[in-house]
Structure 1
């Protein structure tokens, strides 16, 4: 495990799934970890396992929370994992309210933290990593506006990076797009829906995804990305069970 004792890492959406795996990996590496999520019980369980982790129960989409937390901790890295579980159904079975769930959550969260990181601004050399989804590249016809919202998260990171460069801030914005995985509510919802559509059991569908992304693998991938020189960092990465692959 890479030792990161001088690093302060804020994980937004650390209560479950990949976010919890990322927070755990950085805590084990010796980094100073701030874990933010809406679910207080899940954060308490994380802190029981890793007492040095500092927790914040808050709505990740709230700009005042983002402003306050960034100003208080001045993190070296902000990793944004939070988002909503999409409603899984065909297009004609959606209402606009169900179709737009991830626009109102995921896009707003990415916009909020990217904007506040620029307005602070974070210290030169800081990084903001937005966890999007492989659906941003391939689509996801049973999850309403989910794929489009995740593609927009990628654009937000790109726009923020351009503003950082123009202003000479030296704050790096990167997008990571994980492939579908059973290691979280979003992936499980997708697996159930697409397995049913294909006439497969969930286990059989998951076998098609192997090697699958685990929370531990996601955590190590973020550590690998954080220890990579910014000059060698890509604007976006696909994350699979084999690890990170830069997007061109």
Structure 2
């Protein structure tokens, strides 16, 4: 019976999603939210709890920040998840709500002797000016640069904050399309370096200090850790979808879920 109930729930989501987010005659709210894979695990937890408490059908999909923006603009999603600043042309079409703050952490293999690098050194590594760990106090080994794919909000945020463009990225970098792939890659490559969301941090990799500051909730909140970004939910201009979901996100229970994922809650604006 449990399997049948699950199948029926999924069917409801598929049928309702063709018409966009709405409330059914039974009062069940349906909504599809998609986009940033950095925000996805957090929103899955929020949606699961919200659905249980409200008999709702909120479903979460990934795909990246660019997918979240495009899907919101064309009506595929009622809300989009975006983990970077909106571009001017996007801001003309979409309203944004900041739901949390996140640090972008730089990770290396656990056996790497380097503990801290400067922002300038980080930029030089990712643009190919520094190619050997010995130049920053490590072993005499070539640096294996790992980056996210084009369209990733984490990549856009990392590049804009560190201070280089995608065209400047070192050509032989290893491109991965998900946070988990970067963690897996760096965890087995003694000479690798990558960047991930603070909330996705795993003990299988080592975190580097940037300009002497270790990423943490406190250092992101007080601004001393510089590589940080906002997590956004976006919707079409003038639309007011998901007001009850936003109420939950900014409630004490919602804030606890955000903190449980190692992100920083913010006040509603």
**Structure with higher strand content:** 2
Determine which structure has greater relative contact order: mean sequence separation of CA pairs < 8 Å that are 6+ residues apart, divided by chain length.
2
**Structure with higher helix content:** 1
Structure of greater Rg: 2
